[in-house]
Chain A
């Protein structure tokens, strides 16, 4: 229902988001474009789309264990981290949203500082700490290390969702004779299911995009895909095609789930505070 009464500026308003989206997609398109080219084609000719489209780069990744194990490693520690973060954050978030207790505000603030802590500060001490426990190059080491910023994030997001559930529900359940664990699992968790999904998504995501700590704590057996990529860049071979294909494959997991959290994504980035 476009009416001529609308001023010109309003009718053209779709242009701004469109231009912005084109700006966002161009570099990604260029990576996808390169991933379907032979490296020789990338270096010799300049074209906006592949002249001889090839799947060779993707075949290399899916057949070479040093490449695809990177994905398996990344996914393993990311999933581990998500499970740990959300399960310890659930009771804590409940405590913060329902009760006041000694030092609660200080604790909440302290958690926040860990979300804001620069990973660079922790890289070296982490390496020494996990060496002392003999955990270097294991998935669990990276999973626990990433809890540093993901547990606070999960607590903040879940606390936001839980505070939206009226307290009367808890009280009614207790009057009906529910014990706390039964109430929590049977009634409360289903009520904040979307919150758990969002928290899990953000833990997954921040663990997936982080490289500095993951790279510091791993050498070969648990090396994340992101670190595998940097190694290829520095090697003089510079197989641009494979590098591009590997990059495209790291974008896919995020792109797949983004649709499900589109309405909560702002909330997640703002630590449950929108």
Chain B
């Protein structure tokens, strides 16, 4: 759509600007402020320059948390994206099955995140949980509280449970936008199931898949509540992701300087990712 140039439109954007600036810019300034200062208490601060940033960047703690976070994101993407595509391809296209599938699949997306954590905490417990109990009776030694590997598996299954539906819904929205004529043409040409997928469905899903990929990556990169409830970052530090580490540092230990520096580094990573997301979305918007 052709848009007219009108700088008065700023007045319509102003309320949003003020509100979001209050919620975003002021807190961010506080963080910047802490990240360059040191204190011995009593509200006396002195300049610390980039010390905190160097501290954070040189600490194993930061790199470990970052690595764990990246591995986690990589694993859940590798599972959720293909799984979501397969499920979306096999969903009913018309009839009563459509609303039933959509509503039931969307259900996990609307559960408060800590309740998601609670559900899986209970579900996986060896004494009272269905999953834990079943695995135990099969003779599998499973305990997410003590065994790091089990904790990881639990968190990954939980995330797959929680968010695969997002990928399914996005892919499904892409699939239903394909006109029937495409499929009929493919049928006349005697196209195989694979070529229908490769040359008709996949190109139509490309855009939504990009959105799904980027959203899932960013959201898993800042995951906090669910692992916090299930494992609390443990056993040991094995499931301490960046957000959990940051909250531990800022509110648990009250190490304001390092926590603020970590916040800024974290935020810059997210900023870069958002920029990629934005560019991808606007260029694919332009292509139609």
Contacts and interface: CB of A to CB of B under 8 A. Distances in A.
A and B bind: yes
Interface string B202-244: 0000001001100100100110110001000000000000111
Interface string B183-199: 00000000001000000
B118 A88 contact: no
Nearest to A113: B274
A30 B130 contact: yes
B122 A240 contact: yes
B127 interface: yes
B3 A111 contact: no
B105 A24 contact: yes
Contact of A21 (B86, B101, B259, B267): B101
A239 B229 CA distance: 16
A119 B242 CA distance: 12
Which of under 10, 10 to 19, 20 to 34, or 35 or more describes the interface residues of B?
35 or more
A198 B259 CA distance: 37
B9 interface: yes
A35 B204 CA distance: 44
B266 to A, nearest CB: 6
A212 B13 CA distance: 28
Nearest to A88: B15
Interface in B78-102: 86-87, 90-92, 97, 99, 101-102
Given A114-B24, A211-B112, A266-B170, A9 B193 contact: yes
B224 A229 contact: no
Contacts of A210: 112-113
Interface of A: 9, 13-17, 20-21, 23-28, 30-31, 34, 42-43, 46, 48, 84, 88-89, 91-92, 94-102, 104, 107-109, 111-114, 116-126, 128-129, 144-145, 147-148, 151-152, 155, 163, 167, 205, 208-212, 216, 226, 229-230, 233, 240, 243-244, 247, 250-251, 254-255, 258-259, 262-263, 265-267, 269-271, 273-274
Given A116-B277, A125-B30, 4 more contacts: A27-B161, A98-B9, A101-B13, A270-B170
30 contacts: A9-B193, A13-B90, A15-B90, A16-B87, A17-B101, A23-B161, A24-B165, A25-B107, A27-B123, A31-B119, A31-B122, A95-B9, A113-B270, A114-B24, A120-B246, A120-B263, A124-B250, A129-B27, A147-B23, A151-B19, A167-B1, A209-B112, A226-B115, A233-B118, A233-B121, A247-B118, A250-B115, A251-B110, A258-B106, A265-B102
Q: Nearest 6 CB-CB pairs, A to B?
A: A254-B110, A125-B27, A118-B222, A266-B173, A120-B243, A95-B9
